[in-house]
Structure 1
Amino acid sequence: STGASEDPSVTLFREYLRIDTVHPKPDYLGLACQKVEVCQGRVVLILTWQGTNPRLRSVLLNSHTDVVPVFEEHWTYPPFEAVKDSQGNIYARGAQDMKCVSIQYLEAIRRLKAEGKCFARTIHLTFVPDEEVGGHKGMEMFVQRPEFRALNVGFALDEGLASPSDTFSVFYGEKSPWWIKVKCAGSPGHGSRFISNTAAEKMHKVITSFLAFRESEKQRLKSDSSLTLGDVTSLNLTMLEGGVSFNVVPSEMAASFDIRIPPTVDLKAFEEQVAAWCRGAGDGVTYEFHQKCMDQHVTSTEESDPWWKAFSGVCRDMKLQLKLEIFPAATDSRYIRAAGHPAIGFSPMNCTPVLLHDHNEFLNEQVFLRGIDIYARLLPALASVPPLPAEG
């Protein structure tokens, strides 16, 4: 198809994908605009569509503007040109994660405003930096600020994942990431002798215990088709350090593990298990946390919950099949939930391979346009949720 016949929403999406990545400037919607510098050089952009009853809690539409790096030699098309092939697939870094959602929010609001609609609840859009490196200089700082509290959030939407089948993935919680470094101290000596009580022997035991647990969780996932990656604890050995020379038995070695724990797991009991593995490896084995997320908030998906009822009702009306899951990695939703607000992770991309952070990330223009239709139905339902008991 020629550019001339392209849907303007798709054109805007492709323009945004070509920005490598600075903030969008979508001031054309006539929305109130506020910029908050959460720390040096990190700006959150807030666009606000005022509701008719501003005392009610608002609906927050969050998206992040940053994208992960690319290895260009693995891409069929340049990753920042948003090339569209003959099937209507748009190739670019950020096509799925998550510039599509930013533009879908905006285009849904543009459509609703053009139809003269207005709703009781205020809708805020936040465009945040830093999500791909942990959100520490983005959403994590933003939720602490008075500007965030002033948004008076009742319910938030944030990113989900594509789904290869015709169902849509909906995420109501996230795993707690734990990054643990285990240090083993032992007797040093010459590389030609059988030194006893070495750091390496202890490290061997540590790694064996940790990886045996990894294998058992992997098998548990494999053997039960009702489980998803979000339901089991993932564990990976990601760094190994130690040693000074071929002929010197080192006095210390260290191993680092990336562990992601579902909200159903008792974190205190899990840490006791880690401590037991370390004790079992011998004396002088210690562990330290480089990240220890303890928040296990999940968002209600009970039909009695007014927010979920509004969200799921629209999906039922539109005959969208939902698959409810725990998010296997981490998004900014965790900071929103930890601040006490319900949040749902949802990127309306079905029949689409999951390619976030991958080479040749793409989204089909029809799937993208269908997403705008979905948001154009979701937003009125969420912004019209009747006053909750707490809102009088």
Structure 2
Amino acid sequence: MSYLPLEKVVVLDLTRHRAGPVTSRLLGDFGATVIKIDAPTDLGDSMGGSREGFDYQNLHRNKMSLSLNLKTDEGRAVFYDLVRKADVVLENFRPEVKHRLGVDYETISEVNPRIVYGSISGFGQTGPYRTRPAVDQTIQGMSGLMSVTGFPGQPPVRAGAAVADISAGMVLSQGVLMALYHREKTGEGQWVHTSLLESLVSMLDFQVVRYLDSGESPRAVGNDHPTLMPTGLFPTADGHVNIAAAEELKFKALCEALEIPELVSDPLYADTALRSENRTALCDILARRTRVYSSEELQRKLDAAGIPCGQLYTIGQMMEDAQMQSLRMADEGQHPHLGAVPLLGQPLHLEGCGGRPPVRFTAPDHGEHTDQILSEWLGMARSDIQAFRERGII
């Protein structure tokens, strides 16, 4: 990448687990200097396992690590000195914890009124659940996502990825960038916050609006689309293919491609509402035809007819697919001890900045940059740094 758009932005990252680090990873990938604040005794992380593990390396690349004890007056003083030089502070503490540590927005904004202070919580900064702990799966359940995931009559099913954590991290990163843009125009910092619950409910999108419109909660419908049919997963001779042909022209093209043109004029399937109402019979008819073909044959046939479709891949099959090879999302970083470390690249291309951002460095060891930050950023003498280390402040 020829230019990193956030390269002058300094981020102090107090977050743990996954959602907050997703935010700082995005900012770091696009050039921000991210200083991950680690407690002196923090030798790992509750998310990502070992610091040399694949998840930790992927989650914390392009970050520095400063070992700092915020429970001490001297540690907080160092943090405040860094706040004066920073643009962004990220945190996901419970309310009582951040106030006890003195890293709440009110305190930090007194130190630096231009700071953009980003927070992620489980349930939000207000309301009866504001102090409750949360993890991705509990939010998947409480948000309603699990109630619409799975098959009718079967137990609810969680999504196969940490969608609450990741959506919250991405939402907060958007908020931080908008707040930085606001600061460029006004000179004012601000508090930006979201929660796992709010972010995941927003991801449910039209499903929530269906309830707001009708007062009825949507139900799980398996691999079918909740309202637009035929859209779902269909069997083939050697696997499955997802097909989306709900629009009138697409439905006609599908029927012609599968050599069952009589369905187009069948009154049971005359429009979208009727096709949804009679989905079971319709899908049975379509499945009898899709089973005739291999997944590859059906893919080619429907591609030629202009019908959105896609084979059911494992993650391995997708990563080896020619399209993913062209997009080159599989990336790697060079670790000083581990050598080449496999990583997942950002999905965003900024062509004016050179395309996808590079992996500048792998996840840091615990406190790896402590001496560098204290001496180069804050002008601290080596003897003072050593004294801090002996007293457990760093």
- Short-chain TM bin: under 0.3
Higher strand share: 1
What is the TM-score normalised by the length of structure 1? 0.26
Ranked by relative contact order (alpha carbons within 8 Å, sequence separation 6 or more), the top structure is 1
Structure label with greater radius of gyration:
2
Higher helix share: 2
What is the TM-score normalised by the length of structure 2? 0.26
